[in-house]
Amino acid sequence: TDERNRLVSLAIEVVSGRIPVVAATGSQSLAETRILTQHAVDSGADALLIVTPYYIRPPQGGLVDYYLELAANHETPWMIYHIPGRTAVSVTLESLKRIKDNSESFVGMKHAVNDLGFVSNCLNELGKDFKIFVGLEELSFPMMAVGACGLMNAVSNLRPQPLAEMCEAVWTGDFQRARELHHQLLELNQAVFYETNPIPMKYMMKRLGIIPRNEHRLPMVPAPPELTERLDGVLERMGLIETAKLSCAS
């Protein structure tokens, strides 16, 4: 908890008001989430991202009460991080409507689910101003095409520029350009899931000189040789390895 709070404080300090900071403050425990959330609020985070409590698989009524309990203690805009593949619990449209009806500061969701229909239903029921951020790399363009407002995307750690260009293309209605960028990034988007994220991501970031060390904490482990070879092939086909070598040499 102390380390996560320090990361939020450091991010806000480094950004220094230049761009909004969305702090992820969710955990399995209400008590721990409350501590993380209050720290982010007190530190000046612009918005909060609170994951559905993982492992315990609460009922929908428990989810609604959990989020409303947290929202009652602050006025900072907040979003749900919806990633049932890792938390083992989904949030329903009816639950989202109940939360929105009872929390004025509830503004959106990071949606890391292969379900475009749910996105459309959310926007139809909760309003076009409800902010949905794409949490699955392969769906970045398709989900934005049906109304998601932006990305919260691991690949942006590797290739922020083309992802930013894709978002701009969607926002300006240039869907042909957005599709082109989507297909250019497809293999890299898929590579993130060759093994549990962030194992592939950290290897590729180290390979490109973005981070100094490929460190993991157990039970996560660095990519084994067969995976690094496969990832190197992706980076080579993307034209990134040579660029990384030149960058490191300079």
- Residues noted as catalytic: 81, 110
Handedness of CA 142, 143, 149, 153 (dihedral sign): negative
- Asked whether the beta carbons of 86 and 117 are under 8 A apart, the reply is no
Which stretches does DSSP call E strand in 61-184? 78-82, 106-111, 131-134, 150-151
Q: Write the DSSP assignment of 186-229 as a string of letters.
A: HHHHHHTTSSSTTHHHHHHHHHTTSSS-----TT--PPPHHHHH
- Asked whether the beta carbons of 131 and 110 are under 8 A apart, the reply is no
3-state secondary structure of 248: helix
